[in-house]
Amino acid sequence: MKSFCFLLLVSVVLIQCATKKSSEAPEAAQFTSAVYNDSLYSKAITLGSAARGLDLFKNYFSTQPDSVCDQDLKEYIAYSFVVADSISRQLSRRSDIDKLTSAYFDPKGNDDSAKKFESELNQNALQLESSEGSLFVSPDPDKIAQAFNQHLSPITKEYLAQWVIEEKQPWGADAGFIISVMDMAKRAAFWDAFVEKNPRHIFIDKARANKLMYLSYLMVGLDNTPAFGDNLELSPEFLDAFTYLSKTYPTQECGKVMTAYVQLLKDNNNRRTPAVDEFIKKYGM
């Protein structure tokens, strides 16, 4: 009798566990990007939500074809930004915000709470960044790449790899370029080629935006890295970058644009004139 009761109890527990598991995980036949997206948003957003999203992908969706995993990556990145924004809005209300800020700008500090918070972010593929002295949280593309990369198509791997590079080496801050003007040109060329080769890619809108951003800022610079000086004369460094794109990528759009731009500048003695301004306006600046 006791053995029967024991077996009955074990059976009930196993059934409950199976029921609980099935309620949290999608059915095998429903491993789609839409289901993944629904699963991401099925619970309240907390700091741990980002890691939960990675676990969901690893446990239930990573065995799907790379085209599906590409879409899963897109869903996860969008979700990761939602999580990051939620955590960012909570930062100012933290009692230890001053310690977090000090530790961010002085990594040699030994504040335990700051180390714990950054460790928690790291475990959730998130990172702490700053803008004009204020902290915010953003997705960490390097960690995301580690989780998704082996399951993605070659083209999406290329996209993700470039995102990692550009995250580790931001192009600008404090109204100036951080990377060289020539590197700005090379990034414009990369995104131009990506758009041309992959016009139907799931990240095509972002790729186009990147291409336009690099190309437009390259044409005029920023306040602390201006393409034109106070006398409106073009900087030789910028002219070199324009010429590089023109000669190296003559068949790509960025090369064609720069060929026309270099000729227009030459016609205007390499000075910023109303005609040059009109040309620049075509590219959003």
**What token pair was written down for 224?**
């602390």
- For residues 248 and 6, give the distance between their C-alpha atoms in angstroms, rounded to a whole number: 77
One pLDDT digit (tens) per residue for the chain, 285 residues: 444 343 333 343 333 443 444 445 666 456 788 999 999 999 999 999 999 999 999 998 888 999 999 999 999 999 999 999 999 999 988 888 888 888 888 877 667 888 889 899 999 999 999 887 889 999 999 999 999 999 999 999 999 999 999 999 999 988 899 999 999 999 999 999 999 999 999 999 999 999 999 999 999 999 999 999 999 999 999 999 999 999 999 999 999 999 999 999 999 999 999 999 999 998 765
Domain residue limits, the chain: 29-152, 169-285
pLDDT of residue 134: 87
Scanning the chain, the segments in alpha helix (DSSP H) are 2-24, 33-40, 49-56, 66-91, 97-105, 112-123, 141-148, 154-168, 181-197, 204-220, 236-248, 253-267, 274-281
Q: Which residues pair with 205 in a beta bridge?
A: none
10 Å CB burial of residue 249 (0-12, 13-18, 19+) is buried
Q: Which residues, other chains included, contact 246 with Cβ-Cβ below 8 Å and sequence gap of 6+?
A: 255, 258, 259, 262
pLDDT of residue 111: 74
Long-range CB contacts for residues 279-285, cutoff 8 Å, separation at least 24? 280/216, 280/219, 280/220, 283/212, 283/215, 283/216, 283/219, 283/257, 284/212, 284/216, 285/216, 285/217, 285/219, 285/220
pLDDT of residue 110: 64
